[in-house]
Structure 1
Amino acid sequence: MIPQTGMGKTMVLPEGCSDRSDVTTRASRVRMLASAMALPMLLALSGCGSAPNDTFDLSAVSTPVSTSASARNRQLLIADPSALKAVDSEQILVRVAGSEVRYLSKSQWSDKLTRVVQSKLVEAFEDTGRLGGVGKPGQGLAIDYQLISDVRAFEIATGGGDRGVVEISVKLLNDRNGSVKAQKVFRAEVPSAGSGSSAYVAALDQAFGQVTGQIVAWTLQQL
């Protein structure tokens, strides 16, 4: 320790410090280091303040495909579905009035809705075993037909009783000449068995299963 005299008083400085400025500098560095160490701890604690959302998936198909039609010599591409921005997200849409929509609190889909719909449509067609091949863009299929879909509604409707509503418009496109072979709109509504997120999603899942089964059967008949 180094004694230093000033203003009639003697101050003892730590070893390595020649004057008061050195002491001040060291104290500042200690405070900066403490702040730097505290920041990550605060960020980590802030992430514990809210519980994660419940995440839900959809079934590939919950109703039997009502046709014996087969198209094992055809390969089908399930194109990326389209949808309005309000529908096409990970949030679960609730229609509280004719034009007023909200999102189900603390709940979400496992992925962007159109990706989930596309994936489940592929699974549903594959599970029939009645096509030569089925897949998504970029998988290298020698395509005969494309299934073009537009998700018009995928929501919990609250007017007139809570229910799951799914409406999907599809076109069957000949990939060789670009002509539309057939097109149709499929819709299903299933009442919710309760008022919680699980009940709402179950109603949507059943409605989607009905629509998917109808789309698969119709497509096989057209091919």
Structure 2
Amino acid sequence: MMKEMRIMFHAKPTAALAALTAAVLLSGCVSIGGKVPERLLTLDATQKVPAGAAQRAGAGRTLIVSDPDAPKMLDTVRVPVQTSPTSVAYVTDVQWADTPRHLFRRLLAETIAATTDRVVLDSGQFSGDGGQRLTGELIAFGLDAPGNSAVVTYDAVLTTPNGVALARQRFTASQPVGGKITSMTVGTPLNLAANKVAGDVAAWVAAMKN
């Protein structure tokens, strides 16, 4: 029984009865009402651009990294736990400092800038050298209860400045959670999984030539 999680079920109409039954069985774990979380989580890039490092744009070397799309389940500061294929819980006493898609974009940008020759910009910056764009969708960014692991999955799409798709690839990584899933144990495995995905995306971007 995970007393640290607030259980919220999102079920398809055909699974409504099953979800109701599960809610009754897990009534001892349900927490109603909100409170200020005990801790906030963020992501920390394992590969960083050194302070004072200079980069020159040109010859199509720029890359604009956009915020990925994300389903409503992930577009929140709460930390989701997939308890079954049709139900999701959220870990109590912990939240993200920002929504995962914003945090992950910054992690991607930092990792790509640190490990490739690309000059990384965000979507609010302008470059006239015809660089590429990295967009995509955050498919998973949370905990898998049956596997007791953190899972991050990102569908990356590399496009031209005009939005023509050049390549698409799915990247995923998982890290085991040490012990029970609680507010104290979820941050590190999620950060490790996110960094693994970011590193794989960076290598993929580096291999794609203009």
Fold shared, TM-score > 0.5 on shorter chain: yes
Contact 2:116/2:202 (8 A) holds in 1: no
Asked whether 1:127 is paired with 2:119, we answer no
Please say if residues 167 and 211 of structure 1, whose CA atoms lie closer than 8 Å, have aligned partners that are also in contact.
yes
CA separation of 1:99 and 1:61: change in aligned 2, threshold 3 A: farther
Q: CA deviation at 1:90?
A: 0.8
Partner SS for 1:101: strand
Distance 1:72 1:59, change over 3 A: farther
Report deviation, 1:208. 0.8
Give, as a single letter, the amino acid of the residue that structure 2 aligns with 1:95: Q
Q: Does the 8 Å contact 1:164/1:192 carry over to 2?
A: yes
TM-score, L = length of structure 1: 0.68
Q: Which residue matches 2:205? A: 219
Q: Which consecutive residues of structure 2, in runs of 5 or more, have no partner in the other structure?
A: 1-34, 48-56
From 180, 187, 191, the equivalent of 2:165 is 180
Contact 1:165-1:190 at 8 Å conserved across structures: yes
Alpha-carbon distance in structure 2 between the residues aligned to 1:79 and 1:107? 26
% identity of equivalent residues: 26
Q: Give the distance between the partners of 2:139 and 2:114, measured in 1 at CA.
A: 25
8 Å CA contact retained: 1:124, 1:216: yes
Q: Which residue of structure 1 aligns with residue 93 of structure 2?
A: 106
- Which residues of structure 1 form unaligned runs of 5+? 1-49, 63-70
From 135, 145, 153, give the equivalent of 1:167. Answer: 153
Residue 53 (str. 1) matches residue 49 (str. 2): no
Give yes or no for contact 2:107–2:195 (8 Å, CA) kept in 1.
no
CA distance in 1, matches of 2:171, 2:36: 37
Task: Tell me by how many angstroms 1:57 deviates.
Answer: 0.8
Partner of 1:209: 195
CA distance in 1, matches of 2:36, 2:76: 20
How many angstroms apart in 1 are the aligned matches of 2:161 and 2:36? Answer: 47
Deviations 1:28-78 (A, max 9, x none): xxxxxxxxxxxxxxxxxxxxxx6543101112246xxxxxxxx97411000
**1:150 matched residue in structure 2:** 137
Moved over 6 A (4+): none
Give 2:123's aligned amino acid: P
Question: Is 1:76–1:134's contact at 8 Å kept on the other side of the alignment?
Answer: yes
Deviations 1:86-105 (CA, angstroms, capped at 9, x unpaired): 11111111111111001110
Report the TM-score, using the length of structure 2 for normalisation.
Answer: 0.72
Q: Please give the alpha-carbon distance, in whole angstroms, between the structure 1 residues aligned to 2:38 and 2:168.
A: 37
Distance 1:187 1:52 in 2: 28
